[in-house]
Amino acid sequence: MTRQAIVVGGGIGGLAAAVALHRIGWRAVVLERAAEVREIGAGMSQAPNAMRALDALGVGEQARSAGVPTYSAANLRLPDGRYLQQARPGDPTPLTAFHRADLHRVLLEAVPAGWVRTGTEVTGIRQTERQVTVTWSGGEASADLLIGADGIRSTVRRLLWPEAPAPRFLGRTAWLGIANAVAADGLPGSITMGSGGYLLIHPISRGRAYWAYVTAAEHPEIRYTEEKTEVARRVTTWHQPIPALIAATPDDAVIHIDICDLDPLPAYVRDRVALLGDAAHAMSPDRGQGAGQSLEDAVVLAAALTGEPTVEAALRRYDTERRPRTQATARGARADGRRTTSPALHRGLTSMIRLTPASLWRRGIAADGNATWRWRPPHLPSSATQY
C-alpha cells in the first residue's frame, strides 16, 4: 500500500522532502501558506555536500545547469582591494551559486503535478497511534507522516515543541541584493573582509551577481527609509566592483534582514512528526549551509523510511543521524559569524588568512576540505511512481 505524507511548507526544504518521498514511492501533499509557491530573497551557494544531496534526489544535473561556479571562498580581499588569498586561473571550485528562485524551481519541477496546495496555512495538528492530522482554515488532511518544513518560525514546532525557545537574534544584520548583468558579468565571486562586517559576492545565472553585506547590529529591527542608500554608505570606500554592484541593484530589490538562529532542540521528531530544514535547525548564514542541510535532511529521512520497518523507527533514526551534524554546523556558523563581524578580531583574522600558505588554503577549500563538505548521501532506492 502506498504510504502518504503531509509536508508543511513549500520552501527548499519542503520541496526536497517531497522529491525524496516521491523517489521512494510515497505520495505526499505539500501545504504552503503563500498564494504562490516561490522562493523570495536573493542568492545562495551550495557546497559539495548539498550538491551530492541534490544528486541523490535525482536533480543534480538540473541544479548544476541552473547554478554558476563561484570562487568566493578562494578570493578573500580587504576593503582597499588587496587580496588575502586569490584563486589562480584554472583552479577548480567546489561551490555553486544560485539565484534562490532557480534552485527552488529545479526542485519544484521534480515534484509530481498536483502535490502542492497553496494558500493553505496549517494551524493545528493532532496525532493518533496510526495517523497524524493537520488542520487549516476550512479543511484538514491525514497521513502516516507529517514533515514540518515551515521555516525558522515554524508553526509545527510551536504546536508540538511548545517549550522550545523562540529564534535568537545573533547581533548581526544583513543587506542582500541582485545586481544586474551589465555591472556583474564575469565576476568570479569573492569575500571582502572589513572591520565589523564582510561583503560576499557570488556570480549567478544570466550574468548577474548576488551580493550580501553582513555586519554587527546592537538591536534587531533597525530599519532605514532608504535601505540601498544605507548599505551603499557603509561600503562607499570599499574596492570596486562593490559600490558599482550596489548601484546596479534596483532600489526596491535590496533586502534587509536580521540574522537569527535556533538554539539546539532536544529532538527533531515527535511520534509521526519530523521537523526538517530551518524549522529544526535554522542557522546563521556564515557557512552557507542552511538550505544545504535541509537537502541532506530530506535524503536521510527518505533513506530511513525505506530502511526501517515503521515510521516511528525511521524517524528515530533520522533524529539520531541528523541532530548532531546539523547542530554542530549551526554552532560553527554562529561562531564564524561572531568572528567575521567583530572589529576586535579583524586584524588577527585577516593576518591569519594572509599568512596561511596558499597551498594549505586551497586544500581547506577543496571539495573534501572539511567535515561538512565531505558528507556522502545514503543510497535512496528509487521506486518513484509516475503520476
Ligand X SMILES: Cc1cc2nc3c(=O)[nH]c(=O)nc-3n(C[C@H](O)[C@H](O)[C@H](O)COP(=O)(O)OP(=O)(O)OC[C@H]3O[C@@H](n4cnc5c(N)ncnc54)[C@H](O)[C@@H]3O)c2cc1C
- Residues at the site binding ligand X, with contacts judged by CB under 6 A: 8-14, 31-34, 44-46, 121-122, 149-151, 155, 174, 176, 212, 257, 277-279, 285, 288-292, 294
**Shortest Å distance, C-beta 42 to ligand X:** 8
**Shortest Å distance, C-beta 290 to ligand X:** 2
Helix (H, G, I), strand (E, B) or coil at 267: coil
What is the DSSP secondary-structure string of 66-105? H-EEE-TTT-EE-TTS-EEE-PPTT----EEEEEHHHHHH
**Shortest Å distance, C-beta 375 to ligand X:** 13
Q: Is 34 exposed, middle or buried (0-12, 13-18, 19+ CB in 10 A)?
A: middle
CB closer to ligand X out of 129 and 221:
221
**Shortest Å distance, C-beta 279 to ligand X:** 6
What are the counts of helices (DSSP H) followed by strands (DSSP E) for the chain? Answer: 13, 19
CB closer to ligand X out of 8 and 201:
8
- Our measurement of the distance from residue 172's CA atom to the centroid of its chain's CA atoms, rounded to an integer in Å, reads 17
CB closer to ligand X out of 198 and 361:
198
CB closer to ligand X out of 84 and 101:
101
Compute the C-alpha angle 182/186/190, nearest 5°: 110
**Shortest Å distance, C-beta 1 to ligand X:** 27
CB closer to ligand X out of 147 and 184:
147
Compute the C-alpha angle 318/323/324, nearest 5°: 125
Q: Which helix (H) or strand (E) holds 4?
A: strand 4-8
Say how many CA atoms lie within 13 Å of 351 toward its Cβ: 5
**Shortest Å distance, C-beta 4 to ligand X:** 18
CB closer to ligand X out of 253 and 308:
253
